[in-house]
Amino acid sequence: MKRIFPLILFSFLLGGCAAYKELSPKPELSPAERGYIELKDGKDNFTLDKDKKYYIKFPRPEGDQFVLAMKLNAKSALQYFLTDRFDGGDGSFQKIPDELATHDNTSAYLVNRLPPEYFWVIESVPYDVELEMAYRYVPQWRFTFENKYEAYKKILADNTIERDTYNSVDDRFSFSGFAFAEKLRQLNAATKNVRGMKDELVKLENIFPPNIASSRDTAYENFIALRNKTNDELQFQENYTTVLTIFKKEQDSHGSIAAFLESAPEFAEFVSQRDRFPRPMLEKARTTFIRRLNDAPSFYDDQLRAKNDAKKINFTPPAENARKLYEACGVQVPSDFRTLMSFVDRFNVEASGMALVNEKFQQIDRAFAANPPLTTEALFSDFLSKIADARSKLPESRTLSFDKYGRYVCATMLDAEIRNATARVNASETLFGMSQQFVQRLNANSWAPAEAILREVHYNASFAGVPAVNEQKNRIVRSFEGEIFNRVKQVSHQRVDAFVKANEAAIDNVPALYLDSAFIPVHQISFSASGEAEVQRKRAEVQNYIDKLKFNDFPAASITAIYRDFTRNINDRGVDRARAIVEHGKYYKGTDNQIRSMVNECDPNISKWIIRPKEYRKLFVVPVTTNPRGTNEYLFRVTLKIPSEAQFPVFEINVKLPKEVAEKAGTQAWFESIKLNRTEIKNEGRHTITSPTADNNYESQISPVQMDKDGNNVLEVRFKYPGYKVFEVSTMAQVPIIRKN
């Protein structure tokens, strides 16, 4: 505790040193609107000690928009401010700006009735000061006006323009050599000042109390007088500036009717302000303008004559400028100018119509440019709708009926454009209508009607005279031609694909499958814009695909599928499957050796190659007779194609037979005949045909089989079996060896 006490005391002392001292004037301060009242501490002035801080509470004013003004002797020495909230220097507060900050001895603050009181705070006293101070509560307008009244009077006096010249302008007045620029500069400078003062007065007037007009306040009366003078001077200066500007522009446009007509709306407005400007002055202007308007008709006629397109006429400056000036000047528009204007109006009506028509055409053209699919009905419905719109917008061409202007290039061009547009509308309507019909037929797979329409479109001569339509026709024909071809091809493909898929495993009556209509195109293409050769090419393309399926894919798929089933179980309709494969094989024109091999494997008449020695080659033996319930004859052939260094190669042929074929070989020959190159081999002489027995796993050896080294060596074996089925036989050839024993 003994330690803390000195610290608390020190802090208190420091706080006591920094505290603001409130000065309490006597008499108390009054917010009443009066003149300056001295601020006294009794009879004396307050003395401010060096480095001390003070504040004085000022009451709030009696009304809003008041000024608290202070005059003091030591403004420059003291640092002070006014605030509406002060807590001894703590907390936040906002300094109210000094409206007369630069004034030597006066400060003024805008105050109102919102805060309960104001605090005038002296923050710094550089030296001991005896404060001589007076304060005043005064309405803001009064404070301002009173402070600037003299200055305002001076501004007005300094910027008042003499009015003699202005008032002397009439028919006799000549602006020749008149110093427009200098006078306008002078006017502008003066007007700027006057208008600035006027703006201040307006602002000031806005803060006048509502009842001020009814009072007899001198300051207010002075204000009204000054305001009226200012307004009058400013109005004059503006009028004068306008007059000088108009006549200057007219003078500047000498030699350029275009420049004159460019300003014609201003001229027309000028001469129309009869209440604003002196009558003589306006008469001078009208006379001047009428004289200048004489050149207007020829000016616009020249432009028309030079126009070489059918677009809407847009004069520069607009002819309307001249017409309005005529009217403002109170003179009748000349007849040739009226005719010109009528022509222009008609021309522009037709041109505007054509613009709409052309817009439709362009929409169609853009649609074509976007390469849309041309096979949707919606597209051609839209085109036909656009063409209908265009037809409704097509203007009647009447510009040629204008005597003079009807011969102008623009009129001729517009007429031609209308006629062309009419032709295009007609042609497009025909083209798109037929196209729509084509698409409907096409989508209904009505190939022949669709192709007939296509042919009609192609040969329709009416399109030839309308290049844009003709080009579209060509595109449409190309597209339609391609589309009908693609559709025919696609549908033909789908049909034959479906047929192939549905029948690839069929084994009954195989030849009939190849006579099915699926192998004929759904439509024979009979038209091409490129001629008969293209027709034939397309026909061939469709047919080639079908033929590819007919003579390649279908038999290949069938052979593969049936062969798969066949090899999975040769006892399940094996003979039928084998024969179906052979039938398919008759149609197969492909080059897949695997497919060929499958066919060959099932065809008893085709010899199976043995190309390597000692490898057993499995082969299927199919009956060559058809007796499902009796004995059938079986045949298999093998061709020896084994490379040999011998000049006269000889082989041993080993045949592994099914048990059911060979098991009775001991009592009856298992074979009917064995032939080598159609010469029968008998089990005698140098040929040996061993008997297949259970001991040798039913393998029969035929030896020696002499080969023709460079020829075909076909070993043919026929046997009979009381059954109708497929057998598996394995054959192997190997080189016999020379034996010592």
Partner 1 sequence: MDEQKTQEAAIPAWAPPPPLQKSNKKRNIIIASSVVLLLLIAGGLYYYLTLDKLRGMIVIPYISHQKPTIDPHLPSSTALSDKLEEIQFDGLFNISADASGVIYEDGLGELIGIDENNIVSVRLKTNKYWHDSYIATMEKEELKSIDKTREHLFTAADLNFTLRRIQALGSLSPDYILVSQAIDPLAFEGPDASNVIRMRFRGDRIWKETDIKEVLSFKVLPDGSDMNALNYTIGSNAYLMLPPKEGVSNYHKSPDGTANIANVILSPFIDNSTFTTELKNNRINVLLDTPFGSLSPILNDSTKFFVKSNVSTTLFAVLFNTQRLNREQRMAVRSMLNGKQVISALYKVGTPQQRSIIDYRGNRNNYDDYVNKSVFPTSSYYIEDSVVTPFVTDMPVNMGILPDTVRIAACMNFGFREEYADLIDAINSPAISRGKLKVTAIQNEDIRRGNYDGLLVAISGYRSNFLFDLYDIFLREPDLQTYRINLVTIPGGGGISPASWKADKNFFRLDAEMGGPDQADINQLLQYIYGFMATRQIGDKQEFSRRIDVLENQLSLGAWMFSLPSLAYFSTQFDSTSIDLYGVASQLSTIKKWKEQPK
Q: And the tokens for 530?
A: 């490129």
Where do runs of H (alpha helix) occur along 514-616?
A: 532-548, 554-568, 574-587, 593-602
Sheet holding 133-139: strands in order across?
37-39, 133-139, 66-72, 106-111
Residue 736 CB, nearest distance to partner 1 (Å)?
Answer: 5
Residue 692 CB, nearest distance to partner 1 (Å)?
Answer: 17
Estimate to the nearest angstrom the gap between the alpha carbon of 298 and the chain centroid.
47
Residue 520 CB, nearest distance to partner 1 (Å)?
Answer: 54
Q: Between 457 and 705, whose beta carbon lies closer to partner 1?
A: 705
Residue 691 CB, nearest distance to partner 1 (Å)?
Answer: 15
DSSP string, 68-126: EEEEETTTTT-EEEEES--BTTBS---EEP-TTTTSSSEEEEEE-SSSSEEEEEEEE-S
Q: And the tokens for 332?
A: 């009748």
CA distance 629 to 716: 25
CA distance 202 to 196: 10
Q: Between 332 and 741, whose beta carbon lies closer to partner 1?
A: 741
Main-chain phi, psi angles of 97, to 5 degrees: -65, 150
Q: Between 193 and 706, whose beta carbon lies closer to partner 1?
A: 706
Q: Between 370 and 737, whose beta carbon lies closer to partner 1?
A: 737
CA distance 11 to 17: 10
Residues making contact with partner 1 (CB under 8 A): 613-614, 642, 644-650, 652, 684-686, 704, 706-707, 732, 734-741
Q: What is the dihedral of CA 21, 23, 24, 25, to 10 degrees?
A: 180
Spatial CA neighbour of 573 closest among 416, 726, 403, 411: 726
Residue 586 CB, nearest distance to partner 1 (Å)?
Answer: 36
Q: Between 482 and 704, whose beta carbon lies closer to partner 1?
A: 704
DSSP letter (8 states) at residue 19: P
CA distance 343 to 126: 90
Q: What is the dihedral of CA 558, 559, 564, 570, to 10 degrees?
A: 110
Q: Between 592 and 708, whose beta carbon lies closer to partner 1?
A: 708
Q: Between 378 and 650, whose beta carbon lies closer to partner 1?
A: 650
CB 274 within 8 A of CB 330: no
Residue 644 CB, nearest distance to partner 1 (Å)?
Answer: 7
Residue 641 CB, nearest distance to partner 1 (Å)?
Answer: 13
Residue 709 CB, nearest distance to partner 1 (Å)?
Answer: 9
CA distance 277 to 241: 12
Residue 575 CB, nearest distance to partner 1 (Å)?
Answer: 33
CA distance 8 to 16: 12
Q: Between 329 and 653, whose beta carbon lies closer to partner 1?
A: 653
Residue 646 CB, nearest distance to partner 1 (Å)?
Answer: 3
CB 655 within 8 A of CB 702: yes
Q: Between 186 and 734, whose beta carbon lies closer to partner 1?
A: 734
Q: Between 13 and 646, whose beta carbon lies closer to partner 1?
A: 646
